[in-house]
Amino acid sequence: MILAFQVCGAIVAAALLGLFVFGLRRRLIQRSGGTFDCSLRLADAKEELPSGKGWIYGVARYSGDSIEWFRVFSYAPRPRRVLERSAIEVLHRREPQGEEELALLSDSVVLVCEHRGLRLELAMSDDALTGFLAWLEAAPPGQRVNVA
């Protein structure tokens, strides 16, 4: 009986430690500033994804001439994707459609982009979109920037 309590206590302690590390990671990502909630969905240029499928919730962070994108539900200290400003091409923006409204945060706007030949969609709030587009347009002179 005592062994069962010890095992249960160890499981609860491990779960609490995991939650603590999870929260600490999020704070460390946000500590340097310039972060915003940003869901991401990848697709081939010719592939159409079904509505609401494939979205991954994340946090994006401005880092010089790139954006680092981190999965929210991960312990990885490194970004999952790094998007260089000079390689991002904004194709168009749209409102979430169908099941996407349930898969994304409320009041999200979907930005359809291409980065180094890979089509991706970024979903963010209207305020974050304004900041993202301003960051893209603020590229140093001579850099090619395509903002729809």
- Using the predicted structure, report yes or no on whether residue 53 has a pLDDT greater than 80: no
* Cα–Cα distance measured from residue 26 to residue 20, given in angstroms and rounded to the nearest whole number: 10
**What's the CATH code, domain 33-137?**
2.30.29.30
* Cα–Cα distance measured from residue 107 to residue 80, given in angstroms and rounded to the nearest whole number: 24
pLDDT tens-digit series, residues 110-134: 999 999 988 999 999 999 999 999 9
Torsion, Cα of 122, 70, 117, 92 (10° steps): 10
Annotated domain spans of the chain = 1-31, 33-137
Query: Whole-model pTM?
Result: 0.77
pLDDT tens-digit series, residues 61-120: 998 889 999 988 887 778 899 999 989 999 999 998 888 888 888 889 999 999 998 899
* Cα–Cα distance measured from residue 57 to residue 76, given in angstroms and rounded to the nearest whole number: 14
* Cα–Cα distance measured from residue 40 to residue 111, given in angstroms and rounded to the nearest whole number: 10
Q: Which residues pair with 123 in a beta bridge?
A: 39, 110
